[in-house]
């Protein structure tokens, strides 16, 4: 089993989750993070650290976010690894919970 980062991370991109990951399986894109599914050890340490509830275990991914399985796997192969916390975007709070953010994903 693995965890994935879902839609609410887009434009929020808090990085609290990366510091607790014992296997450094987070990868950073321009406006979101993803988890590499082959590196995740299912420790669940990252999930409670996400202030916008954007991390899901694979058996709890909402039906409308199933495409994030493939996106996490694909983007983790091309984005750089991130292991240290960074400051969230200045407008992150404004984006929390807004629907339809997938169209705003920057690759």
Please write the tens of the pLDDT for every residue from 22-45.
Answer: 999 999 999 999 999 999 999 999
pLDDT in tens, 83-105: 999 999 999 999 999 999 999 99
Average pLDDT, the chain: 97
- pLDDT reported for residue 91: 97
Beta strands in the chain (DSSP E): 3-5, 26-28, 33-35, 55-57
CA distance 94 to 89: 10
How many Å from the N-terminal Cα to the C-terminal Cα in the chain? 25
In the chain, where are the structural domains located?
3-86
State which CATH number among 3.30.70.20, 3.90.1150.10, 3.40.50.300, 2.40.10.170 fits the domain covering 3-86: 3.30.70.20
């Amino acid at each position: 089993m693995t965890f994935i980062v879902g839609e609410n991370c887009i434009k929020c991109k808090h990085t609290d989750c990366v510091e607790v990951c014992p296997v450094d399986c987070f990868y950073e894109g321009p406006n979101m993070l993803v988890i590499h599914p082959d590196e995740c050890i299912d420790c669940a340490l990252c999930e409670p650290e996400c202030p916008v509830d954007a991390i899901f275990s694979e058996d709890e991914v909402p039906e409308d976010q199933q495409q994030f399985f493939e996106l996490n796997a694909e983007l983790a192969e091309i984005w750089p690894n991130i292991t240290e916390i960074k400051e969230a975007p200045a407008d992150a709070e404004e984006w929390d919970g807004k629907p339809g953010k997938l169209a705003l994903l920057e690759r």
